[in-house]
Amino acid sequence: MSTTLAAMILAGGKGTRLQALTKKVAKPAVSYGGKYRIIDFPLSNCAHSGINAVSVLTQYESSELNTYVGNGEKWGLNGVRSVTSVLTPKQTEEGSSWYAGTADAIYENLDWLERVNPKYVLILSGDHIYSCTYNAMLKKHIDMGADCTISVYPVPMEEASRFGILVTDKEDNIVQFVEKPKKPISNLASMGIYIFTYSVLRDYLIKDHALEDSDHDFGKNIIPTMLKNKKKLVAYTYDGYWKDVGTIASLHQANMDLLLSGDPDINIYTVQGKNKILSEDIHGTPQFIGKTAKVKDSLINQGSIILGEVDHSVISGDVVIEEGAKVTNSVVMNGAFIDQDAVVTDAIIGPNTLIEKGEKVNVEKDGIALVVNEKAGKR
């Protein structure tokens, strides 16, 4: 098999800042937007870009994510001329261990790339929310003769220390790159989306693997070394919606942005054409909005029964909100049960979580609350 562009999606992180939501599932498998999982976004983007070779590199609590990705059928990536592979850390003659870093994860799967034999390699994160195709980025990479092209996004200066930060010249050549600087030199942030010319990438991965003092990381090692060696690194500026949902607050905000009163750049009702986000159909019953219900400015997924009040919230499938209960500015994930007269405000309610009769969740509005107990299935 030979292809122009192969995609490798890094989906093995622990996502510890999402607390109990990632205790048993990988971060890319976390629910989002009422009917999606986070991994749906990069996989849908690959499908709409016409990429016919995609691998998902899993690691931490990977069972559910591996099963969900499967052979890529949900995203149309399982055709005669396409392949989706789930790649996990494997045992070799040298032993077995988890990936040491982002670059090491790709290095350990060079055999997959050799079989696919791409001219270029697209490396993505499996835990970002955005909708796009990668065609324009690839075109810029080819037109400028780049060794590596990095997709970049302007962020608020006060948040810049969380990202890899870079400086470009007038032709978009990258002249400086610093990973998570304490004092940022600009607000132009790497999105963790890279296109490499494969022959160059392969060479740098092999050399980096031999270095005992390397973190085997793209931001800390590969990119700075390429700059030092005067390789051609180019920035591609992305101007759509993009969210790194690495914290409870950012995951909550990304859900709120989906509402029609939220950020217009990620209105899911305007991307139902060629860039539609693809996902699993849960084959649930239709939603039921009872005569005692009051619902406004909210997303309600199939299978949910709403008898209470829902205001500015995202309600996933098979949720029950009983009469007298009130949910405001919150995210309620699959299978949760909000019992009679309970009040939920500014919160994320985890899958299959029970909020008991009369219980009050975050009524004092102390940040974004998270409740995960998986008791609803035991009712």
Average pLDDT, the chain: 90
Please name every residue paired with 57 in a beta bridge, in sequence order, or none if there are none. Answer: 10, 87
pLDDT at 15: 75
Give the chain's largest Cα–Cα span: 68
Residue 44 CA, distance from chain mean position = 11
Task: Of 346, 341, 349, give the one whose Cα is nearest residue 376.
Answer: 349
In the chain, the number of structural domains is 2
Quickly count: other Cβ atoms within 10 Å of residue 46's Cβ.
Answer: 28
CA angle, 235 as apex, 233 and 237 as ends, to 5°? 170
Which CATH number belongs to the domain containing residue 250 in this structure? 3.90.550.10
pLDDT at 350: 96
Quickly count: other Cβ atoms within 10 Å of residue 257's Cβ.
Answer: 20
Quick one: average pLDDT of 115-123? Answer: 96
Over 80: is that where the pLDDT of 2 sits? no
State how far the Cα of 3 lies from the Cα of 73, in Å rounded to an integer. 19
pLDDT at 352: 96
Phi/psi of residue 315, nearest 5 degrees: -115, 120
pLDDT at 92: 53
State how far the Cα of 270 lies from the Cα of 281, in Å rounded to an integer. 20
276 in a structural domain: no
271 in a structural domain: no
Tokens of 278: 């693809």
Does 201 share its domain with 325? Answer: no
Tokens of 346: 């500014």
- From residue 70, give the alpha-carbon distance in Å to each of 65, 87, 263: 8, 11, 32
Does 66 share its domain with 100? Answer: yes
State how far the Cα of 102 lies from the Cα of 104, in Å rounded to an integer. 5
Does 233 share its domain with 347? Answer: no
Does 252 share its domain with 314? Answer: no
Over 90: is that where the pLDDT of 10 sits? yes
Q: What percent of the chain has pLDDT over 70?
A: 92
pLDDT at 261: 66
Tokens of 244: 């790194």
Does 291 share its domain with 236? Answer: no
Does 246 share its domain with 293? Answer: no
pLDDT at 244: 85
264 in a structural domain: no
pLDDT at 96: 53
Q: Are 293 and 320 in contact (CB under 8 A)?
A: no
Per-residue pLDDT of 73-102, as tens digits, reads 998 888 766 778 888 876 554 545 678 899
Over 60: is that where the pLDDT of 70 sits? yes
Quick one: average pLDDT of 104-114? Answer: 94
Q: Which residue has the higher pLDDT, 38 or 78?
A: 38
Does 47 share its domain with 135? Answer: yes
Does 243 share its domain with 333? Answer: no
265 in a structural domain: no
Does 145 share its domain with 25? Answer: yes
Quick one: average pLDDT of 288-303? Answer: 96
134 in a structural domain: yes
Over 70: is that where the pLDDT of 117 sits? yes
Quick one: average pLDDT of 67-77? Answer: 90
Does 199 share its domain with 242? Answer: yes
356 in a structural domain: yes
Over 70: is that where the pLDDT of 134 sits? yes
Give me the DSSP letters along 308-372.
Answer: SEEES-EE-TT-EE-TT-EEES-EE-TT-EE-TT-EEESEEE-TT-EE-TT-EESTT--S-EEE-
Q: Are 336 and 354 in contact (CB under 8 A)?
A: yes
pLDDT at 63: 86
Does 247 share its domain with 346? Answer: no
Tell me the whole-structure pTM to 2 decimals. 0.92
State how far the Cα of 26 lies from the Cα of 58, in Å rounded to an integer. 8
State how far the Cα of 366 lies from the Cα of 118, in Å rounded to an integer. 50
Tokens of 137: 């980025």
Q: Which residue has the higher pLDDT, 24 or 268?
A: 24
Per-residue pLDDT of 40-65, as tens digits, reads 999 999 999 999 999 999 988 888 89
Per-residue pLDDT of 156-169, as tens digits, reads 899 899 889 999 99
Among all chains, which residue has been given the structure tokens 């261990």?
Answer: 97
Residues 6+ apart with CB under 8 A from 310: 293, 294, 295, 296, 298, 300, 321, 327
With bands split at pLDDT 50, 70 and 90, how would you rate the model's confidence at 131? confident
275 in a structural domain: no
Per-residue pLDDT of 329-341, as tens digits, reads 999 999 999 999 9
Per-residue pLDDT of 239-288, as tens digits, reads 888 888 889 999 999 999 888 766 656 655 555 556 788 898 878 899 99
Does 207 share its domain with 346? Answer: no
225 in a structural domain: yes
Own/partner contacts of 327-335, CB < 8 Å, gap of 24 or more, are: 329/256, 331/251, 331/252, 331/255, 333/31, 334/31, 334/282, 335/376, 335/377
Domain containing 362 equals 282-378
Per-residue pLDDT of 137-146, as tens digits, reads 999 999 999 9
Per-residue pLDDT of 191-231, as tens digits, reads 999 999 999 999 999 999 999 999 999 999 999 999 999 99
